[in-house]
């Protein structure tokens, strides 16, 4: 039986931290699906189509990684793709409470669905999409924090504004 895991997120935009986690995760599963949340209530900087395209380009070298978008409950989405595991990253203790709450809620919704946490490379422990957007929007460099396609997309997006 194929072991499939889903790595969900907003990915607005995808960072080297996300990619480091996906690279670690993909070694433990036959298939890893990066699932980009579409129905975001917060106004994303990049549309769902843009976020999916940026993630897809960034994971292109990895044959067992797929990219998809989803709406609604993550537990339902995981079931629809036959995933038994949700993969999430914990960068620091401050991530823990939010991640535990989500893991418990997802267990309540789908008792057979396990959440697995991995720790990204410590070089990315301070990297978040929110800070990347803020720094790039203020003209700072995020070149070593995001892949080149994202860096270009950020420059384009902020030069349009
Ligand atoms: O990277 P993020 O933005 O912290 O990811 C959050 C995400 C997408 C994992 C979370 O918001 C989510 O799973 N949303 C789908 C809606 C859902 O299933 N909610 C209840 C479970 S906590």
User: If you take atom 13 of ligand 1, which residue's CA is the nearest one?
Assistant: 74
- pLDDT value at residue 40: 67
In this model, does residue 161 exceed pLDDT 90? no
Mean pLDDT of 108-126: 97
Single out the catalytic residue among 26, 51, 88, 91.
Answer: 91
Single out the catalytic residue among 42, 108, 156, 161.
Answer: 42
pLDDT-based confidence at residue 160 (cuts at 50, 70, 90):
confident
pLDDT, tens only, 35-88 = 999 976 779 999 999 999 999 999 999 999 999 999 999 999 999 999 999 999
- pLDDT value at residue 101: 98
pLDDT, tens only, 129-143 = 999 999 999 999 999
Separation between Cα atoms, residue 66 and residue 59, nearest integer Å: 8
- pLDDT value at residue 68: 98
Integer CA distances (angstroms), 105 to 9, 37, 102, in order: 16, 17, 5
Q: pTM of the full predicted structure?
A: 0.97
- Residue 66, classified by CB atoms within 10 Å of its CB into exposed (0-12), middle (13-18) or buried (19+), is middle
Report the nearest atom of ligand 1 relative to the CA of 88.
9
User: If you take atom 22 of ligand 1, which residue's CA is the nearest one?
Assistant: 102
């Amino acid at each position: 039986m194929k072991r499939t895991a889903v790595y969900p997120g907003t990915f607005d935009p995808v960072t080297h931290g996300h990619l480091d986690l996906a690279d670690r995760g993909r070694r433990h599963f036959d298939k890893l699906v990066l699932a980009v949340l579409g129905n975001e209530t917060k106004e994303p900087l990049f549309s769902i189509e843009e976020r999916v395209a940026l993630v897809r380009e960034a994971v292109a070298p990895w044959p067992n990684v797929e990219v998809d978008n989803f709406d609604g409950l993550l537990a339902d989405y995981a079931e629809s793709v036959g995933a038994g595991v949700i993969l999430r990253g914990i960068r620091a203790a401050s991530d823990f409470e939010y991640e535990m709450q989500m893991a418990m809620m997802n267990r309540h919704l789908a008792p057979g669905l396990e959440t697995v946490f991995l720790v990204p490379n410590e070089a990315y422990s301070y990297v978040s999409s929110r800070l990347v957007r803020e720094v790039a929007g203020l003209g700072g460099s995020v070149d070593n924090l995001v892949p080149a396609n994202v860096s270009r997309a950020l420059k384009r997006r902020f030069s349009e504004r």
